[in-house]
Amino acid sequence: MVRLLSPLHHVVVAALLLAACYAQPAHAQPAPAASPKAAGDPVRGEKLYEARCGGCHSLDANRIGPKHRGVVGRPAASIPDFMYSSALKKSKLVWTPANLDRWLMGPSRFVPGTRMAAFVSVPADRTDIIAYLASTTPPPPKK
């Protein structure tokens, strides 16, 4: 028969795990990501962006969709010379990584009436694409 572990046993295991974590030497810590704005791999994200978004978008020119440089942190529908749907104009969204993730999961579910019909179903792909978009934001001017 399998004997259920006592609560005390759990405490001991947790303490051992905790001790093991603290015992890690400092150099075993993972290096901080290149961009602190978003998790994910921007290098992989760039390839995905070109393959999945490049047919309609680019960083610096409006195409079927609006240009993207600096989109992370920007209010939705804020490129002045792009003709957005009224749905996106009225959305009052800001393109935080979390909102971009929901958007890329299914734009018309997130903003009914939008004209963007593409979506990305794999969560890691969305994260990497968002990391790439975040990496395109120019740093703020030094004061």
Site residues for ligand HEC, 29-68, by CB under 6 A, read: 52-53, 55-57, 64-66
Per-residue burial over 134-143, b = 16 or more CB atoms within 10 Å of its CB, e = otherwise: bbbbeeeeee
Interface pick for ligand HEC out of 44, 69, 102, 115 (rule CB under 6 A): 115
Positive or negative torsion for Cα 16, 21, 22, 28: positive
From CA 14, how far away is CA 9, in angstroms rounded? 9
Contacts of 102 (CB under 8 A, 6+ apart): 110
If the CB atoms of residues 13 and 124 are measured against ligand HEC, the closer one turns out to be: 124
Rule CB under 6 A: say whether 76 interacts with ligand HEC.
yes
Let me know: does 38 contact 71? Beta carbons within 8 Å.
no
Q: How far is the CB of 109 from ligand HEC (least distance, A)?
A: 13
Q: How far is the CB of 17 from ligand HEC (least distance, A)?
A: 39
Let me know: does 137 contact 69? Beta carbons within 8 Å.
yes
Question: Taking CB under 6 A as the rule, which mask of x and - marks residues 81-100 in contact with ligand HEC?
Answer: ---xx-xx------x----x
Chain positions contacting ligand HEC, by CB under 6 A? 52-53, 55-57, 64-66, 71, 76-79, 84-85, 87-88, 95, 100, 103-104, 114-118, 120, 129
